Amino acid sequence: MEAKQLIPDKNLVAYCGLYCGACSSYLKGKCPGCKENTKASWCKTRQCCMDNNYSSCADCEKIAFMDCKKFNNFFSKLIGLILRSDRPACIRRIKECGYENYAIEMAGSKRQSIKRK
Ligand code: SF4
Ligand code: SF4
């Protein structure tokens, strides 16, 4: 895969709310981004969103995402602590402003996640 430019693209918003378009693996051409990454079959969040035809957990009508053990569990909290990422804040932001504006904001700030405070 070739190196990529950092651009706003709503299709690069991951199912869990991360912005793959600003991720170094994506930009180096090492990962196609969550939506195209068929190797990420381990991820329950990704699988659930695909099964329900959601673009992310921001579209979920089944459960409040913070109550969902696929989205919010011990490992997701641990990864959030290590990477200092705040995926719940990402999902809340997508709900507030929509996918296109979220992609513009994240590409503009060169962030793959909203930072933990
Ligand atoms: S944790 Fe799951 S939903 Fe989030 S970017 Fe990775 S594969 Fe996609
Ligand atoms: S919040 Fe949970 S149930 Fe809803 S789409 Fe995400 S993983 Fe699926």
Q: Which of 15, 43, 47, 57 gets mutated to test ligand 2 (max ligand atoms within 8 A of its CB)?
A: 57
Tokens of 10: 């709503």
- Give the pLDDT score at 72: 97
Q: Is residue 23 part of a domain?
A: yes
Q: Are 111 and 85 in contact (CB under 8 A)?
A: no
The predicted pLDDT at position 77 comes to 95
Give the residues surrounding ligand 2 with Cβ less than 6 Å away: 45, 48-49, 52, 54, 57, 60, 62-63, 65, 68, 70-71
The answer on pLDDT for 1 being more than 80 is: no
Mean pLDDT of 41-51: 97
Q: Is residue 5 part of a domain?
A: no
Give the whole-number percent of the chain exceeding pLDDT 90: 96
Residue 104 counted as domain residue: yes
Residue 117 has pLDDT above 90, yes or no: no
Whether 70 is in a domain gets the answer yes
Residue nearest to atom 1 of ligand 2 (CA): 65
| Gap from CA of 37 to ligand 1 centroid (Å) | 9
Cβ–Cβ contacts within 10 Å for residue 62, how many? 11
For 45-96, give the DSSP string: HHHHHHHHT-SSGGG--SS-GGG-TTTSSHHHHHHHHHHTB-HHHHHHHHHH
CA distance 67 to 20: 24
In a domain, 4, yes or no: no
Predicted TM-score (pTM) of the model is 0.95
* Residue 116 resides in a domain: no
Does 61 reside within a domain? yes
Our count of domains for the chain comes to: 1
Amino acid 60: pLDDT: 98
| Angular region, 17: left φ>0, alpha ψ -120 to 50, beta rest | left
Q: Is 53 part of a structural domain of the chain?
A: yes
pLDDT given at position 2: 84
Confidence check: pLDDT of 84 > 70: yes
Which domain does 71 fall in, by range? 10-109
